[in-house]
Structure 1
Amino acid sequence: MLMNCPHDRSQGKPVKVLTLKSLLVPQALERLNSQADYQFCSSANCPIVYFSAEGDTFTTSDLKVPMFQKDPAKEVPVCYCFGWTRQRLQQDLEQHGQTLAIAAITAHIQAGRCGCEVNNPQGSCCLKNVRDYLSGRQE
């Protein structure tokens, strides 16, 4: 069931509790209701990252890592598993005239090395984020 973020009303996306367990700082993890269904809020201008129907919320300050969708810094990962930051993607483009990131990430995924469920705050593959960033659709 999709829900809307309680802060900005944007549509959430279901995320597994395992993702929250992996990425919440200890103080936030102590507040986690492991029986609740959580949703991910990707809205750039909203401080909430995860929310539940029970009213539980976790914000960017509750995460161990900066969140690509909410933090515009160049050193923030676009691909959390393999270290592709905005800065690294730009450097790759400048050095090669194109990026090798998509091919490299795809090869890692096919080899079974991807760990987005526990590394990426959105709890799913970040390859779309990389593609969107490179095409200028996501800054």
Structure 2
Amino acid sequence: MVSENLMGKVVDEETYYLCMNEDCDVVYYNLNNERVFYKEDVKVPIWFKKDANPKYICYCNQVTEQQIINAVLDDGAKNIKDIIRLTGAMKNGKCEINNPLGKCCSPFIQETINKALKGYKCNKEEQTYSMKRLDVEDES
């Protein structure tokens, strides 16, 4: 995941941790040798960081959060199987290599499906969608 020009700074025997703070510029860090890799040091945008663009959920097939949301809203996807069929996510995956977390993206696909199903309401008569804000309390 680290840019080619920085690969020499990666020590294979060392354990690296992933910073999950969405506001932090640090991506990977090592406690033993105080080695730190920032967002600009990695090859791909890290989806859970605030300014990630594009926001890949499936790195192996470059499926974005928006593509998954669109599959739910526009194509009626309700589960991971639907998302795989509609977007190509999780096909030919090598998650341990391609995903910054080093693991399968299926839990994050499901989380995105849930977010879309919960956060968007469809007006069947008008066939329009509206986003319900998930990050603030309803003031009405």
* TM-score (norm. length: structure 1): 0.68
Q: Following superposition of structure 1 onto structure 2, how do residues 14-93 of structure 1 map, counting pairs within 5 Å?
A: 23-54=1-32, 55-73=34-52, 75-93=54-72
Name the amino acid aligned to 1:75.
P
Partner of 1:97: 76
Q: C-alpha root-mean-square deviation of aligned residues, in Å?
A: 2.8
Q: For the residues of structure 2 that align with 1:124 and 1:134, how far apart are their CA atoms?
A: 19
User: Matches of 2:20 and 2:100 in 1, distance apart?
Assistant: 10
Larger-gyration structure (1/2)? 2
1:42-85 CA deviation, whole Å, 9 max, x = no partner?
22111111111221111111110011111455632111112320
Could you tell me which runs of 5 or more consecutive residues in structure 2 were left unpaired when the two chains were aligned: 119-133, 136-140
CA contact (8 A) 1:76 1:85 kept: yes
Partner secondary structure for residue 30 of structure 1: helix
Per-residue CA deviations over 1:65-124 (Å, capped at 9, x if unaligned) read: 011111455632111112320221122123222256x1128x986x8x321111111111
Task: Report the number of matched residues.
Answer: 113
- What is the Cα deviation at residue 36 of structure 1? 0.9
**Using the alignment, how far apart are the partners of 1:86 and 1:108 within structure 2?**
11
Q: Could you tell me the percent identity over the aligned residues?
A: 24
The amino acid that maps onto 2:24 is C
Q: TM-score with structure 2 length normalisation?
A: 0.67
Unpaired runs of at least 5, structure 1: 1-22
